[in-house]
Amino acid sequence: MYKGQSGMWSWLLHRITGLGILLFLFIHIVDISLLGFGPQVYNDGILLFDSIIVRLLSLALIGAIVLHATNGVRIMLIDFWSKGVRYQRSMFVVVVAITIIAFIPTVYFVLAPKLFAPVVAWFFTIKTH
């Protein structure tokens, strides 16, 4: 039995996250190449990554990266660790658990500057008039 089991899902997730990360890599190489056009153009490009929608996309990307990386470790353990095959299913549970656990602080770090900074700035701004 392979179809519908954890092995199929880990394989499918590895493939989808990998292709998604590659797509972002192409975008990222292009946005970094804006450096060649000077500070105004580059900062206009970076401003895009500051928007809440792109921050949410960044979160999805980081989640995909963590899943792909931890599942990659799982694949290597299956390949090189003598007990890897026996524990492949429980290792997949660990992969998903690590991804979810790592995702929680990531949500804070990526969204907090956008969500809380304006509120904090407003609260501490001294009204001079």
> Which positions from 6 to 25 touch another protein by CB under 8 A, shown as an x/- string?
---------x--xx-xx--x
Report how many residues bind another protein under the rule CB under 8 A: 37
Span 53-82, contacts to another protein by CB under 8 A: 55, 58, 62, 65, 69, 72-73, 76, 79
- Shortest Cβ distance from residue 8 to another protein (Å)? 14
The CA distance from 63 to 93, in Å, is: 16
Collapsing DSSP states into helix, strand and coil, what is residue 85? coil
- Shortest Cβ distance from residue 1 to another protein (Å)? 21
The CA distance from 80 to 102, in Å, is: 25
User: Contact region for another protein (CB under 8 A) — 1-9, 28-36, 82-90, 91-99?
Assistant: 28-36
The CA distance from 95 to 81, in Å, is: 16
Contact partners, residue 98, CB within 8 Å, separation at least 6: 66, 70
Closest Cα partner for 61 from 10, 17, 115?
17
- Shortest Cβ distance from residue 114 to another protein (Å)? 8
Span 86-125, contacts to another protein by CB under 8 A: 106, 109-110, 113-114
- Shortest Cβ distance from residue 52 to another protein (Å)? 10
CA-CA-CA-CA torsion sign (109, 113, 117, 119): negative
